[in-house]
Chains A and B, each alone.
Chain A
Amino acid sequence: MGKTWHLGPGARELEAGVQSGRPPSPANVGVHSVTVHGSDLYRLNCQGCHGESGEGAPPEINSLINPVRATAVDAVIDRLKSTGAEIGRAEATKMAQQSRDALLQRLHDGGENMPAFPHLSEAEIHSLLAYLKQLSGIPGNENKQMVVRESPYRIGELIVKSTCHTCHSAVGANPTSQELMDGAIPPLSTLLKRVSEGELIRKVTHGAPIIMGTPPMLYRGRMPVFDYLTPQEADDVYWYLATYPPPESAGHNPAIGLSTQNHFYSAAPSAHASDGKRRAIARAGTQSLQENAESNVRTAFLLGALALFAFLLLAGGLGFTIYELKRLSAESERRKIVRVRASILGFPVPQRDPDSTAASASRARLRQAAR
């Protein structure tokens, strides 16, 4: 079982690597980011175990519906009312807050079988929580799923760290076919030696039989089919895995680990965080602020460029219109001169439409009548 989810680089790191040309570029390198909603984040992070409905498969996989409902004050009050007990709003609010903290703690630390999700950003958690509430039937959350922009690497990272890592270890030896027969699951770092890009996409989204055992025979694969993932998302997994084995430092680099922790703890400050951890979080906080500032500068630059482009386009259009107007009026002037000259020289001149003269006469009459 792959429980070493601390291994594996963060998407941000990879994007930086792409710029310096280190890891291989994905085929979709032209796509800089995709827009995801809370429902997508649920699909990428949670659905693999908890299913589309969120009910899981008890007793092994707990339902997430009730722990999410417990975070909503009205749901807490309603639930107690249905059992005949009553509770004040203040007390219900306190309990809902406790349940919310517990839910976020669970998300951050994982459980006995649940992977930990310390790598989720604050925006991702907010968007995901809104969808979880919607899924749990708490009214008023339909329009609260914040839109998050993600890089293809990030999509790959999310799927690998939540779904793939549940069964696949991060690193290890490439198992032989006999070892596969004995139940070995190939580690993520060897996957790309075993399958091509197309094969991985097919295996993930549609399933594929595998050859196992001696003598080699075709078996139906053991891996679940993730038909709710798009081929593009499976491709993102491929290119994220192209960076495996992860650099030694990835899991232990305090800067990376803490900055991701900070994303979480700023959403839900933990009462159990030790002093050292808190100091580290504070340090990471400034780092994250710098990151935010950087991204703000980038956004401002993009907006400026867009505005400049729009201005140039409009100015060009205006210039062209003026030019065309001038050209056309000059042309009609030239034609008038030609007509006058032709009439002087006795050439046949095309008559004006008699209707239009009649019309202008009637307009003149009308104007007179108006006076």
Chain B
Amino acid sequence: MTRTLIFTFLLMVYFSAVSTAGTIQGKISGASGTSVVYVDAIPGKDYPPPPSQSTVIDQRKLAFDPHITVVQVGTAVDFQNDDSAQHNVFWPSINGNKKLGHNLGTWPKGEKRSFKFDQPGVVPLLCNVHPEMSGYVVVSPTPYFAQTDPSGAFTIDNLPDGKYNIVAWHEGKKQQIKSVNVSGTAKVDFDLVN
């Protein structure tokens, strides 16, 4: 554990040393509520590894809490049932690919099940028992991602300088990709249409 921490620390030191940290700022319009923005994978480039600690999504009061979760590819997500009712978790597809659909099962209060997301894409979470429940895991191919604040603004920090494809996703909207050159601080805005 300590070794991992030291390694991560050294890695961060290394990255901050070799490149000046860049920032992407922007605003998403045309959609209300939380949107997700992430830096798409660039072939031949290595990124820091995903966190070893898993991310938790609660099932509470017949809802996935939080409704939208963003993780780096390779991160494990714990689905924790905090309702007195039993819940099921499944996703019919990832990024529309039905082959990646999966049924995690049905389990009672106080129990959790874990899944490691090794494929990037948008995972629509559903519960078979309660059709009113829905949630999303957005699996980012890179560790550079952000969720928008209520005004639609976002900031992605600690990004090495370079040329990137930025993806903007919003529930029920068509996702958009924009190219941006990061050198210091870059700005990119999205206007999501249906």
A interface residues (Cβ-Cβ under 8 A, vs B): 59, 62, 66-67, 69-70, 76, 79-80, 83, 85-87, 91, 94-96, 98-99, 101-102, 105-106, 111-114, 272
- Docked-complex contact A66 and B132, CB < 8 angstroms: yes
A29 nearest CB across to chain B (Å)? 41
Determine chain B's interface SS by DSSP, over half rule.
Answer: loop
- Docked-complex contact A86 and B98, CB < 8 angstroms: yes
- Docked-complex contact B86 and A105, CB < 8 angstroms: yes
Residues of B with C-beta under 8 A to A87: 92, 101
> Of the candidates B98, B103, B108, which one forms a contact with A94 in the assembled complex, judged by CB atoms under 8 Å apart?
B103
Determine chain A's interface SS by DSSP, over half rule.
Answer: helix
Q: Which residue of B lies closest to A68 (CB)?
A: B129
Residues of B with C-beta under 8 A to A91: 101, 103
> Of the candidates B93, B98, B131, which one forms a contact with A79 in the assembled complex, judged by CB atoms under 8 Å apart?
B131
Check if B124 is an interface residue, CB within 8 A of chain A.
yes
- Docked-complex contact B86 and A102, CB < 8 angstroms: yes
Interface centre among B61, B62, B84, B98 (most CB of A within 10 A): B84
Check if B176 is an interface residue, CB within 8 A of chain A.
no
B15 nearest CB across to chain A (Å)? 39
B139 nearest CB across to chain A (Å)? 18
Q: Which residue of A lies closest to B98 (CB)?
A: A86
1/0 contact string of B14-34 vs chain A (CB within 8 Å): 000000000000000000000
Q: How far is the CA of A67 from the CA of B86 in the complex (A)?
A: 9
Which range contains the number of B residues in contact with the other chain? Answer: 20 to 34
A356 nearest CB across to chain B (Å)? 84
Q: How far is the CA of A355 from the CA of B61 in the complex (A)?
A: 95
Q: Which residue of A lies closest to B130 (CB)?
A: A66
Q: Which residue of A lies closest to B105 (CB)?
A: A98
- Docked-complex contact B84 and A112, CB < 8 angstroms: yes
A32 nearest CB across to chain B (Å)? 39
1/0 contact string of B103-121 vs chain A (CB within 8 Å): 1011010000000000000
B58 nearest CB across to chain A (Å)? 16
Q: Which residue of A lies closest to B133 (CB)?
A: A66
A86-B98, A99-B106 given; name 9 further pairs at CB < 8 Å: A62-B85, A66-B129, A66-B132, A67-B129, A70-B130, A99-B128, A101-B106, A105-B108, A112-B84
**Can you offer 15 A-B residue contacts whose CB atoms are under 8 A?**
A59-B61, A66-B130, A67-B85, A70-B131, A80-B92, A83-B126, A85-B124, A87-B92, A95-B90, A95-B103, A98-B103, A98-B106, A111-B84, A112-B84, A272-B108
Q: Which residue of B lies closest to A113 (CB)?
A: B84
Check if B75 is an interface residue, CB within 8 A of chain A.
no
B120-158 interface (Cβ within 8 A of A): 124, 126, 128-132
Q: Which residue of B lies closest to A82 (CB)?
A: B131
- Docked-complex contact B128 and A70, CB < 8 angstroms: yes
A99 nearest CB across to chain B (Å)? 5
Residues of B with C-beta under 8 A to A66: 129-132
Q: How far is the CA of A161 from the CA of B98 in the complex (A)?
A: 46
Residues of B with C-beta under 8 A to A112: 84
- Docked-complex contact B106 and A102, CB < 8 angstroms: yes
Q: Which residue of A lies closest to B111 (CB)?
A: A272
B71-100 interface (Cβ within 8 A of A): 84-86, 88, 90, 92-93, 98
Q: How far is the CA of A69 from the CA of B105 in the complex (A)?
A: 17
Q: How far is the CA of A225 from the CA of B130 in the complex (A)?
A: 31
Q: How far is the CA of A67 from the CA of B128 in the complex (A)?
A: 8
Q: How far is the CA of A33 from the CA of B193 in the complex (A)?
A: 66
A155 nearest CB across to chain B (Å)? 28
Q: Which residue of A lies closest to B108 (CB)?
A: A105
| Shortest Cβ-Cβ A-B pairs, 8 listed | A102-B86, A85-B92, A111-B84, A98-B106, A112-B84, A95-B128, A70-B129, A70-B128
B91 nearest CB across to chain A (Å)? 9
Residues of A with C-beta under 8 A to B84: 111-114
